[in-house]
Structures are given as C-alpha cells and as structure tokens.
Chain A
C-alpha cells in the first residue's frame, strides 16, 4: 500500500514537471520519469513474498518464483521508452534549429 502510493507520487512528480516546466528538455525528462514510475508499478504488482527470480537452474527447477508476466511486459516497455526519448530529442533539436530556443512559450508565439 505505502509502496503503491509512493510509486504514484513519483508518477505525479513527472506530471508536475510536464505541466509547469517551460523548457523542452525538462519536459522530455519528465516523461522519462513517468515511464520509470509505470515500470516500477508493474513490477511491484508481480512481486511475491519469499519467492525468488524466475530463472530455472540446475537443482531448483520447482521453487517459488515471482510473477514473470509483468517483468516480460516491462522489458519491452523499457526499450520502447528509449525509442520515444530519442524521437522526442530529435524533434526538440529540430525545433531549436528553427526557433533558436527551448522555451515552449516563445515557440508558440513564433508560430503565429
């Protein structure tokens, strides 16, 4: 319960950054923080007390293991997040080239 709330608070910190910051780089970083919170939440759902990692070894084929399904989902989510960050970075750099600033209010004004 406490862990879920803290994780959601981390998500809200990212949301706060997106809503109040005017710097494009800070906005990209905020979206990354929101992604961290989502991944952490998914893996928290899959944790099982007194259980170990979901990899079979010689001698412990049938042990109590944590839930592998959220881990598999998060593994793909991490990769997609990196692709999104690179796409956002490319867009931001192009915007800087056009408007010479990272301030979104000025970018909006220049677009007319």
Chain B
C-alpha cells in the first residue's frame, strides 16, 4: 500500500480518537484517548520517515499521560458534572468550523503537493552536513549546529515554563507542613 493510504487511515483514526476524547464523560478515559492519538501520531511519523520524531513523540506522550494523570485523576475532582455548552453555542461553533474548513479548501491547492517539497535550504543541509558538522544524523546537525540558536531559545522557553509550573505549585508547599524545600 502507498504511504498516503496509511496516513489517511491514521489521520482518520486520530480525528476519531480526538472526538471520543472530547465527548466522553469519564476524565481518565478522556486522557487515555488523547494518549492513543499521540501514539498514532508517533506511528505516522514513522511512515513519514522521521524516526527521530517518532522516538521523541512516543516518550513525550507517555510523559504527558503521567503528568495529566498525576494532576487530574482523583475521585473528588469531578464530583459534580461540568455544565454543557448551550445548544446555540454548540450549533454556531459547528457551523463556523465547517465554514472555515470549506473556505480553506482552496488554500491547500496552492501548497506544494504531498511528496514534492521545495527543499531550497534543506538541499544544502543534506549535501554538506557530513562535511561541515561531522554528524551522521542530519536532524541533529540542523538542531545543534546550523540552528543552535533556535535550540537556545527553545531551552529558554522550556526553562520558563518549568519555572512557572514550580512557582504556581509552590506557595502552598511553603506554608504547609512539608518542609523539604
């Protein structure tokens, strides 16, 4: 089978999984459904010839699952059912999103066709990465040599997000009885 068939199947599966995750009542099932979507994305990366991304997506999906379960799955959290959106908001949203999808169909024709990327810059990367950086993995060469500045910014963003998380969670721990900080 060609790659497109597999990818269409996987994307349909992901859309189905997302809808299930959003509509199901139980919050643990919802989180697990999103995890399944992420694993399907990891397989899709394998089909798209990106083993780097498949490994990283797989591991991070597991980790996101653990974070969400740690944070949200306790019995008393969902004692009372959250209200559903009113029928008017629901209908308007559906119509609006369908209109967006219908109107954007023309845009996708303008994009380069699937399987034929432009590769203006990347050709240089592929041809000269071995000589210029000495790394066999071209993706790593791009991340840490050609575009290391991006990675510095990425690390800064990650540091900020983690600091924000720890700060938001911290105030009670300081006033509480646990004195391990």
Contact = CB atoms under 8 A, between A and B. Distances in A.
B47 to A, nearest CB: 9
Contacts of B164: 87, 90
Contacts of B19: 13
Contacts of B14: 10, 36
- A interface, by DSSP: helix, strand, loop or mixed? helix
B132 interface: no
B136 interface: yes
Contacts, number: 248
A80 B161 contact: yes
Interface residues of B, number: 89
Given A8-B108, A68-B125, A69-B121, A75 B143 contact: yes
Interface string B42-77: 001100111111001100100110011001100001
Contacts of B85: 20-22
Given A2-B8, A78-B57, A36 B38 contact: yes
